[in-house]
Structures are given as C-alpha cells and as structure tokens.
Amino acid sequence: MRYAQLVIGPAGSGKSTYCSSLNQHCETIRRTMHIVNLDPAAEVFNYPVAMDIRELVSVDVVMEELKCGPNAALIRCMEYLEDSLYNWLDEELENFTDDDYLVFDCPGQIEIFTHVPVLKNFVEHLKKNGFNVCAVYLLDSQLELPHVNILSKMDLLQDKSNIAEFLDAEPRTILAGLDQRMAPQFAKLNKALIELVEQYSMVRFTPLDLRKERSIQYVLSEIDKCIQFGEDAEVKIRELDEDMDQLEL
Ligand SMILES: Nc1nc2c(ncn2[C@@H]2O[C@H](COP(=O)(O)OP(=O)(O)OP(=O)(O)O)[C@@H](O)[C@H]2O)c(=O)[nH]1
Ligand SMILES: [Mg+2]
C-alpha cells in the first residue's frame, strides 16, 4: 500500500513549515516519509526534498520567457504540468519502495484549484496508482476572526430536504435524532453513517502547535487514521514507544 498527504491551503498558511516539522518529527521517531515539493515557485526548503517539481518547470524561467507576472506564470506552469506531471511522477516513484509515504507540499495560489484541473487529476492519478490520499488543509489561526466554513455547489445536490441538521453537524446529536425517528433495525446503519461524517472530518479542525512534538504526533495520527496507514507502521511505532518515552515532549 502507498500513502500520500496533499498539503494545501492559502499562501503563507504554513504548509512548508508543517512539512518541515513533520519531517523532523518522523526523523525523531525514525519513521520514513518523503516530502515532495509541488510548488514551482518555491525557493527555500527546510526539509530534504525527495522530489522537486522545479526539475520540470520553474516559475522564474516561465516569467522570464513569457514576460509575465508570477501568478500568470504559475498558471502556465500548471497547464504545462498537466501533460508532463504524470510521467515525471511515475519515473520518480520507481525509485521508491512499495510502502511509500509521500507528503506533497503544494503551492498556495488559489488559481490552480479554480482555473486548472491539474491538482484534481493529479489526485486521481495517485489513487489509480494505489495511493490512499488525504488532503491536509491548513488555515492560519492568526486571522482572529469568527470563522465560517461554506459548503459550496449546493445547486448540484439533488435532495436538500434534510441538509439543515448536517450544516450544523454535531455527529452524536444527529445520530440521536436519526435513532429517534427511525425504526430500531436502522440503528446500525445510522451509526455507520455518522462514523462516516466523523471520519471525513467535514466540520472539524485539528489544532496544530508546531512547538509541541505531541501536537504534531496527534495531527499525524489523525491523518494516518484517515488513510488507514498500515498495521506495520503501528507495530514499528509501538516498538519505538520506549525511545519516545525517553524524549522530552
Ligand atoms: N509562529 C508560527 N509561524 C509559522 C508557523 N507555520 C508557519 N509560520 C510562518 O508563516 C510564514 C509562512 O510559512 P510557510 O510555511 O512558508 O507557508 P506556506 O503555506 O508554505 O506558504 P506558500 O508556499 O507561499 O503558500 C513563515 O514566516 C513561517 O515562519 C507556526 O506554526 N507558528
Ligand atoms: Mg510553501
């Protein structure tokens, strides 16, 4: 099995710093993980770059050649990558063993999500190649504003009749409501559905404090759970528990 984290979020939200801290954490617990730079505009790295998109295309070169600004250049890069990304990835992946765990440090510009379907197709490609993929979305806590998650594209939803309670989803409350309204034989199904809501963490944020090893460990365990990171790894981690106990957390 292969595993991947796709680290996304607005520019400057801390994606690369998160990748770097994750790398340090994994070195400490001696767990193998490879960080891939998917940002053609990246300049400095605080982690060892296992694969680097800039070998294929770099924003600086495109800006120079097309005499355009950084945002336009990034979109051009992404369009170019749409054709060549998969071959590059497949070739690079040949260097890795079967139980790869890759972390993709993505560019922050929102344009790549809206104008070019490259990231969506990239994820499909990973899944086809046997990767369990988890999107790790970073949101800067320093906005210091009340925060609203918007569920978009509601026009594409066929049945909106029961959506209200899911918009304010507290999974256990929903479960209680469903159990109350429905016949007892549906109890198991309801429970499974609610577990799905919880599992996809649609309305949850996991706080991350990079100064605390435990916090990184917790975030990583949540992501691993999400992509069912193997039993093997759990065994390895258990074996290392003693080492961890000796570290000051
Ligand atoms: N205090 C604090 N600063 C952080 C943290 N994470 C990131 N930063 C700072 O936030 C700034 C942006 O961090 P990056 O990791 O480069 O953000 P990014 O999301 O990779 O940015 P782009 O690649 O440009 O989209 C840097 O100055 C970091 O030092 C954190 O957990 N705590
Ligand atoms: Mg970055």
User: Could you tell me if 142 and 42 are in contact, meaning their C-beta atoms sit under 8 angstroms apart?
Assistant: no
- Answer yes or no: do 179 and 116 share one domain: no
- What is the Å distance from ligand 1's center to 167 Cα? 30
- Answer yes or no: do 67 and 136 share one domain: yes
Instruction: Label residue 18 by pLDDT band (50, 70, 90).
Output: very high
User: Could you tell me if 36 and 134 are in contact, meaning their C-beta atoms sit under 8 angstroms apart?
Assistant: no
Q: Determine the pLDDT at residue 243.
A: 56
Q: CA–CA separation, 130 vs 119, rounded Å?
A: 17
Of 163-167, 178-182, 187-191, 210-214, the one with minimum mean pLDDT is 163-167
Instruction: Label residue 103 by pLDDT band (50, 70, 90).
Output: very high
Mean pLDDT of 119-127: 87
Q: Give the domain range for residue 241.
A: 2-141+205-246
- Answer yes or no: do 192 and 76 share one domain: no
Q: Determine the pLDDT at residue 55.
A: 87
Instruction: Label residue 169 by pLDDT band (50, 70, 90).
Output: low
Of 79-83, 132-136, 192-196, 203-207, the one with minimum mean pLDDT is 203-207
What does the DSSP 8-state code read for residue 141?
A: G
Q: For 138-168, b where at least 16 C-beta lie within 10 A, e where not — what string? A: beeeeeeeeeeeeeeeeeeeeeeeeeeeeee
Domain count, the chain: 2
- Answer yes or no: do 196 and 209 share one domain: no
Instruction: Report pTM.
Output: 0.77
Q: What percent of the chain has pLDDT over 90?
A: 27
ipTM for this model: 0.99
Best probe residue, ligand 1, of 13, 15, 17 (max atoms within 8 Å of C-beta): 17
Mean pLDDT of 161-182: 78
Please say which residue of 202, 217, 235 terminates a domain.
202
- What is the Å distance from ligand 2's center to 16 Cα? 4
- What is the Å distance from ligand 2's center to 129 Cα? 26
Question: Which tens digit of pLDDT belongs to each residue from 29-45?
Answer: 999 999 999 888 888 99
- Answer yes or no: do 43 and 65 share one domain: yes
Long-range contacts of 162-170 (CB under 8 A, 24+ apart): 166/197, 169/197, 169/202, 169/203
- Answer yes or no: do 166 and 180 share one domain: yes
Task: Tell me what the pLDDT averaged over the chain comes to.
Answer: 82
Whether residue 183 is predicted with pLDDT greater than 70 in this model: the reply is: yes
- Answer yes or no: do 13 and 112 share one domain: yes
Residues 242, 247, 249: CA angle, nearest 5 degrees: 120
Ligand 1 pocket, residues with Cβ under 6 angstroms: 9, 11-17, 39, 108, 210
Question: Which tens digit of pLDDT belongs to each residue from 52-68?
Answer: 988 888 888 889 998 99
- 209 CA closest ligand 1 atom index: 31
Whose CA is closest to atom 12 on ligand 1? Answer: 12
- Estimate the crossing angle of helix 118-128 against helix 70-93, to 10 degrees: 10
- Answer yes or no: do 156 and 93 share one domain: no
DSSP state letters, 179-191: HHHS-GGGHHHHH
- Answer yes or no: do 79 and 103 share one domain: yes
Mean pLDDT of 173-199: 87
